[in-house]
Amino acid sequence: MRRNQIKRLDIGFCSLCGRAAFWSENAKKLQDDAIICGECVRKLRVMYPFPLDPKDIKHDPLKNLTTGQARDAMGKVTEFIEDFRERYGYRNAVFIVNKIEKEGGGLFKSPLYCLYGRVLYGGFSINEDVTVKHGQSLYQCRLKDVYLDVPLTDGYALREKDHAEGGYPAILQIQERNLDIQVRDLIVK
């Protein structure tokens, strides 16, 4: 292949850390047209969570930052997460439930609970042991599946399986016989 036929996938360098930025790795353009790489987006996403509603997709809070604001926020991310951890009892990860769907179940099969919501901080992966915090009650269970659930446009979503991390909408699936869970309950690990 000749040199002029090779297409570059990078879009420049991150204004915060200097790494090459790629659209395919979730790079973002800021308000002042500066680019930040996917790794910096991932770190900042906890402070500037992704909208849950597909109607709000154009209002991604990261796109409203300038380079200076993003740089200041990067310096405060660790403190922000530690404040969250203190608030939630120093857990490694916290998910808040916004919607619950219960599927199937029967005499010999436990129902599957699809829990829609947001990972506040930390990350969740499939087959991890977690605790459902319902009022003062705690239920130990295991995640059957985990999906990152990022709305792209009306009716469409980016669904990545096996892992979800802080600041992003997600779907956690738990298969349990008698799971007592409500909207606004927490899943922690």
pLDDT in tens, 105-136: 777 888 999 999 999 999 999 999 999 998 88
Assign domain 94-188 to its CATH superfamily.
Translation factors (2.40.30.10)
- Indicate the pTM of the whole model: 0.82
Cα–Cα distance for residue pair 66/68, rounded to 1 Å: 5
Residue range(s) occupied by CATH 2.40.30.10 in the chain = 94-188
CB 187 within 8 A of CB 115: yes
Span 54-105, pLDDT tens digits: 666 667 888 889 999 999 999 999 999 999 899 999 999 999 999 999 988 7
User: Hey, which bits of 54-136 come out as E strands?
Assistant: 94-103, 112-121, 123-125, 129-134
Cα–Cα distance for residue pair 148/144, rounded to 1 Å: 14
Closest C-alpha among 62, 119, 125, 60 to residue 93: 119
Cα–Cα distance for residue pair 20/11, rounded to 1 Å: 7
